[in-house]
Structure 1
Amino acid sequence: MKGLRHVAGRLLLAVAAVPVACGAARAAGPDAAATLPAPPAPPRVDRARLDYGLQARALAPGVWVVEGSNADFSPANGCNIINTGFIATDDGVLVINTGPSRRYGEQLRALAERTAGRPVRGVLQLNLHPDYFLGNQAFAEVPRWATPATRAGVAREAAAYEDNLYRLCGDWMKGTQALAPDRDLPLPADGRWVVGGRVLHLQVLAGHTDSDLVLTDVASGVVFAGGLVFVDRVPTTPHARLREWQESLDRLQALPARVLVPSHGTVLVGRDGEAPAGAPGIAQTRAYLRWLDESFTRLAEEGASADEVLRARVPVAFRSWAAWDTEYVRNVTHLYPAYELRALRPAAPRR
């Protein structure tokens, strides 16, 4: 179970279920196709050649997403379950997250430079989970930015991440060694970060991990929300603080996003490309986190064991989400012991 704990840390909580329509077409409405092309087919993974089949999808001029499988880690998908991306600037390409392996990073870099027509300038890592940075070897000579808390988390967890992903992903991980982010991200008070003439806005939130970075491309309104939002997938929780995460979702919903890129699941587009985008995915994630918090609190107060929690009734909608069978077990493993301890703690005496 210890290995699963570390892996789940990265898995980024497959977004909670609530009967809300998600997916780019449903979230955006029938006119959205004129604003954003339909998503490509899922990556065409070639296991024999260890080819991830990565595809770049344009979200706005100079902004692309590379969508992973909305699933759990497996050799069948090369353990590629994350949405990465890249942004073209006058100084070169800024890559957002580098994927689960050295091979992924190499293929992502080739795709980014081919698509944008310029070299990579640097890498930005949005949180500490493994598929956000285990492709860093392909970017060894360029700046690799992260927040101080994320850098500390990588230093603490990297060895366990390597072990777990080698076990889960097999040959896809050949030659992969963790290469940490090498510099602190500049965090001006107003959140404004100018890279090669491109104005970006940075916001550090928390709850999914200790440091959940949200990046907005100001010109296009594309928001990379990282691990805070999951669409049609169970959220991962190895470093989660559920109530703080829900507060971060409130702040995220206030952003003027025209397009919102979650860590896992379909990119969400505002109707006709206008803000706000992302509401269905944010609502799903919020509903799931609220349900976990309330149900774990109640079951712990009733004295239920973890095994009884796993057998308890669950809203039907949640069971339809990607990675339910594995992630919910991890949710219970990660979180329920703290609820049990809280329920056993003696009440403070009345004065």
Structure 2
Amino acid sequence: MKTGCNTLPACCRVLCCLAALQAPFDAALAQDRPAGQPAAGVDAVRLDYRLAPRQIAAETWVIEGAVDDFSRDNGCNIINTGFIATAAGTLVINTGPSRLYGEQQRAAIQRQAAPAVTQVINLNLHPDYFLGNQAWQDLPVAALAGTIAGQRAEGKAYEDNLFRLCGDWMKGSEHRPATQEIRPGKRELGGHRLELLHLSGHTADDLVLLDHDSGVLFAGGLVFADRVPTTPHADLGRWLESLERIEQLVRAHGIKTLVPSHGPVSRGLAGIAQTRDWLQWLQATLHESAERGLDLSEVIRLPVPARFAFWAAQPAEFIRSVHQLYPAYERQALRGQTVTAQ
């Protein structure tokens, strides 16, 4: 590993050192795997994300990112951000991967003639959820306490890694952690009965936003659709428990629309089912591989089931997940124990 990678935290170090490992897998699948969807017409020459808010419910919009991995081709825009525009003010959900994204997001919201933004929230600590906070520094930017701590601890490394991956799209971007701690619970905003839930699994502090009036649930990083989930801070057991909780909420409250942070917005439980399927397969694969005594290089070469083979960010995210999670399974196997949660 190069010295530059050693200066990064573990979650970013894995991204930095896997290019050589990933290349053979990409080449093997290139003939068959469809390309990741571009983020809605990005203009790389003008550095224009061409953000296009799409209304998904009453007073509720989503701005969809590419269903893909970070790259210059999509400007590192792989996140779904959103906003709820009420008579009492507009609430912005996630601010994207760069200062430029945040500025263009703000302009896109203004073009919808939305009421003035009164608050911004970040659903977790990962870079595409908050590196656009620079564009919103005149307003309260809120997140869970653990998310704020994580943004402070890892923000500089995120900056460096996304500059490496996406170049000019990141010009002028500096991490600005959320400034206000938000607490879970129910609140009302302009006729919208909102409920904030503190779950975990994708990270230790995953914020989920449920709008009881519009029937929309912003699931954050706990739900991926048509894309391999990322796991730099994952606890697979808790993640599966959180998916169960989200499914219960969807069924109990008649939720009509679920917004994952990555992948297509859907009606129903498709994204939950996909994420659960992947996590259960990954958990079983890592456990069985450790019991068989496979080394890490053997695990990353295991075949991926056909139902996952053409998801976006495959095989890169599988390789990353093995590097991030497999050592704990090996340690437990050596001790004759079972990993129940990672």
Equivalent in the alignment of 1:259: 257
CA distance in 1, matches of 2:9, 2:41: 27
Between the aligned partners of 1:181 and 1:8, the Cα distance in structure 2 is 24
Give the alignment of 1:111-126 within 5 angstroms: 111-126=108-123
**1:93: Cα distance to partner?**
1.3
- Kindly indicate whether residue 289 of structure 2 is the aligned counterpart of residue 289 of structure 1: no
Q: Does 1:331 align with 2:321?
A: yes
Secondary structure of 1:254 counterpart: helix
- Determine the structure 1 residue equivalent to 2:82: 85
Output the amino acid matched with 1:249: L
Query: Amino acid of the residue matched to residue 290 of structure 1?
Result: Q
Q: Is the 8 A contact 2:81 2:94 kept in 1?
A: yes
Indicate which of 284, 302, 306 corresponds to 1:312: 302
TM-score, scaled to structure 1: 0.84
Deviations 1:154-182 (A, max 9, x none): 11111111110011010000000001100
> Match of 1:164?
161
Q: 1:183 aligns with which of 180, 185, 189?
A: 180
Q: Distance in 2 between matches of 1:291 and 1:332?
A: 12
Q: Could you tell me how far apart the structure 2 residues matched to 1:283 and 1:8 are? A: 30
Task: Provide the residue aligned with 1:215 in structure 2.
Answer: 209
| Matches of 1:262 and 1:198, distance apart in 2 | 20
Written as runs of structure 1 = structure 2, the 5 A alignment for 1:1-351 is: 5-7=10-12, 42-187=39-184, 191-255=185-249, 256=253, 257-269=255-267, 277=268, 279-346=269-336
Corresponding residue of 1:23: none
CA distance in 1, matches of 2:317, 2:221: 14
Q: Is the 8 A contact 1:93 1:116 kept in 2?
A: no
1:91 is displaced (CA, Å) by: 3.0
Q: Distance in 1 between matches of 2:9 and 2:170?
A: 17
Indicate if the aligned counterparts of 1:186 and 1:193 stay in contact, CA closer than 8 A: no
Q: What secondary structure does 2:51 align onto? A: coil
Identity %: 53
Query: Which residue identity is paired with 1:144?
Result: V
Unpaired runs of at least 5, structure 2: 16-36
Please state whether the residue corresponding to 2:219 is helix, strand or coil.
Answer: strand
Distance in 2 between the 1:8 and 1:185 partners? 30
| Letter aligned with residue 244 of structure 1 | R
Normalising by structure 2, report the TM-score: 0.86
> 1:131-188 deviations in whole A, cap 9, x for unaligned?
000000100010001011111111111111111001101000000000110011133x
Cα RMSD between the aligned structures?
2.0
Are the counterparts in 2 of residues 45 and 51 from structure 1 also a CA contact under 8 Å?
yes
State the shift of 1:48 in Å. 0.6
Preserved CA contact (<8 Å) 1:90 1:198: no
Aligned pairs, how many?
Answer: 308
Q: In the superposition, relative to structure 1, how do residues 227 and 285 fare at CA in structure 2: closer, same or farther (>3 Å)?
A: same
- Name the counterpart of 1:24: none
Q: Give yes or no for contact 2:14–2:324 (8 Å, CA) kept in 1.
A: no
Amino acid corresponding to residue 182 of structure 1 in structure 2 = T
Aligned-partner Cα distance in 1 for 2:319–2:179? 34
TM-fit CA distance, 1:198 = 2.9
Counterpart AA for 1:263: S
| 1:117 Cα offset (Å) | 2.9
Tell me which moved more, 309-318 or 58-67. 309-318
Gap regions ≥5 residues in structure 1: 11-39, 270-276
